[in-house]
Structure 1
Amino acid sequence: MKLKQVEEKLYLLKNMIRAEQDELNLKRMVWKELGVIGEFETYRQYSYNHLDLNVLLLDLGILHQNTYVKSGELLEEDKEKLKHIQIPEKYILRFTASKDFREQISDSQFDSNINNVGLFAKVALWRESFNKFELLNSRWEKERMRALESSGCKLSKKVTISSGMISIVESPSRYRTDMVVDILGLETILKRARVDQNKLVEYTARGFLKKKEINNLRKVIAVNRRYLLMTTQKEMKKKEYWNAKLIKLSELSQR
């Protein structure tokens, strides 16, 4: 209950802060005293010609290294052929809140007077709520792992509790292309395999293919805008991740 309450509070506060920052027409705002950053960013959403891209990768001899096959992309008859291949199973313990529980959470939120509070105060409330969320969510994740371990992932039925439902869900399997091509056949692989974006970027940096070749096989279907509200620590980790990635790509391009 506490976790869901603070999660709802974070969601509402973020939307309020986003609206005010948008009104100020500022792409980025920093509240140093609170250690919080609000930033708008745009990103492109692509649609790929998977078949032609897979054919290109096959011609270059790098299809297996850059693709995988998701079980969700396969026909039932194809899944049947792969039954004997042992893929480590991954499970998730999922909580689905009941309608009454969701209404109870929404009704428990702070009153409408929050609208009369200034932007800085809203950000301060968000930071306070974020700290609570991190603590509560960490506890919840530990409980989820304990539940999965104690059940041995054998729970098949959904368990109904007063606030909703708990169930164990199996994550979709991913197969290595080279492991299933001889079983499913090359034609099926070319149709069903999906590109690993991180690998594709690496092989482009290494000179196996050009960005222009990739662009010819994809099109922009949307340019989306999202709002990030994060702590300075989170932004620092984000920058460290991208810097490490750029260094790796730079090293690959020089080999």
Structure 2
Amino acid sequence: MYLDRLQLFVQNGQYIELKQLENKLSHLRNGIKQYQEEVGLERIVWRKQGVVGYFTRTRLYKEDKASLFDFFHCFGLLPYVVNIHWAKLLPDEQVKLEALTTKRGSYVRFWPKEPQSLLVEGQYINESQPLRENILDLVSKWRELKRRFDRAEKQWTMLRKGALREWGELDRKLKLSSGSLSVVQLQPQIQAGTILKHLDISALIRSGSINYEKVIEFAAKGYFNKSDIDKYRKIKDVSIRYTLMEIQSEIKKYEYYKRKMDSLSAMSRQI
């Protein structure tokens, strides 16, 4: 049932509409971002439209990875703060560890025969009119298209999950007139502790990355101070990110962040 509906979603043009909505949203977002850069405001709330746009700065660090791994290894925390990227292991290492991995499942993907058909035609910003004069129209249009996109994407995701259950997670492929549907296997998952047991630490350093959310949790529990970590991390750049979202989504994001900070605070009080 789901597989039939998934095929119909593709064949009747709904998939093309979904991708074109995505492209239109990107185009509109860039225009709104440009306006906000021109007026020099880091944060703007369009209350009538229910939309907020803001810039955030993110520090990019250069790590002394070997020293960091050695630091966490001394505390016995290395298996708990490192995520392994399977693709970064050498082929012979993957063969040796394959039986020790955890399968991560798969998903259904559509491969269009003509990717160019997904491109948006025409302009969605009146480039002859100053951004300051039509910014409210742009924000309203973005919100309208964002809601249409979210509904279509939710349906697309639901149909793909249902089709996967009907297909099973085997290597399947279905050819359509506009492309093909196939099952894509996710890379397996393996724990850092398993790497340490069966390979040397150089393999762990090469294939692993530090999960700083976990690091913050252990710091809150009193295992070490954040300043101990900062010795092995130097700021190399600062990236600026622009976010455009509905105000209700920002409220939910803030509530999630607050719960997380409250949890870390509770951990620190238990020391």
- Output the TM-score relative to the length of structure 2: 0.84
Name the counterpart of 1:83: 98
Please say if 1:8 is aligned against 2:9: no
Name the counterpart of 1:130: 146
Name the counterpart of 1:59: 74
Residues in 1 aligned to 2:142 and 2:178: alpha-carbon distance in whole angstroms:
26
Identical positions, percent: 28
Name the counterpart of 2:3: none
Please say if 1:240 is aligned against 2:255: yes
Q: Secondary structure at the match of 1:118?
A: helix
Residue 213 of structure 1 and its aligned partner are, at CA, apart by 2.1
Consecutive unaligned residues in structure 1, runs of 5 or more: none
Are the counterparts in 1 of residues 100 and 190 from structure 2 also a CA contact under 8 Å? no
Structure 1 runs (4+) deviating above 6 angstroms are none
Residues in 1 aligned to 2:69 and 2:124: alpha-carbon distance in whole angstroms:
54
* Total equivalences in the alignment: 251
Name the counterpart of 2:120: 106
- Output the TM-score relative to the length of structure 1: 0.89
Residues in 2 aligned to 1:66 and 1:114: alpha-carbon distance in whole angstroms:
49
Name the counterpart of 2:264: 249
Residue 135 of structure 1 and its aligned partner are, at CA, apart by 0.8
Q: Secondary structure at the match of 1:128?
A: helix
Name the counterpart of 1:230: 245
Superposition pairs of residues 1-255 of structure 1, within 5 angstroms = 1-97=16-112, 98-102=114-118, 105-107=119-121, 109-110=122-123, 113=126, 116=129, 118-156=134-172, 159=174, 161-255=176-270
Provide, for residues 118-170 of structure 1, a one-character-per-residue CA deviation record: whole Å limited to 9, x for no partner.
1011101111111101111111101111222222121355x554444543322
Further displaced range: 176-185 or 242-251: 176-185
Residues in 1 aligned to 2:164 and 2:154: alpha-carbon distance in whole angstroms:
16
Residues in 2 aligned to 1:136 and 1:171: alpha-carbon distance in whole angstroms:
24
Letter in 2 for 1:31: W
Consecutive unaligned residues in structure 2, runs of 5 or more: 1-15
Provide, for residues 76-113 of structure 1, a one-character-per-residue CA deviation record: whole Å limited to 9, x for no partner.
111111122241232132334433313xx322x45664
CA RMSD, 1 decimal:
2.2
Are the counterparts in 1 of residues 64 and 233 from structure 2 also a CA contact under 8 Å? yes
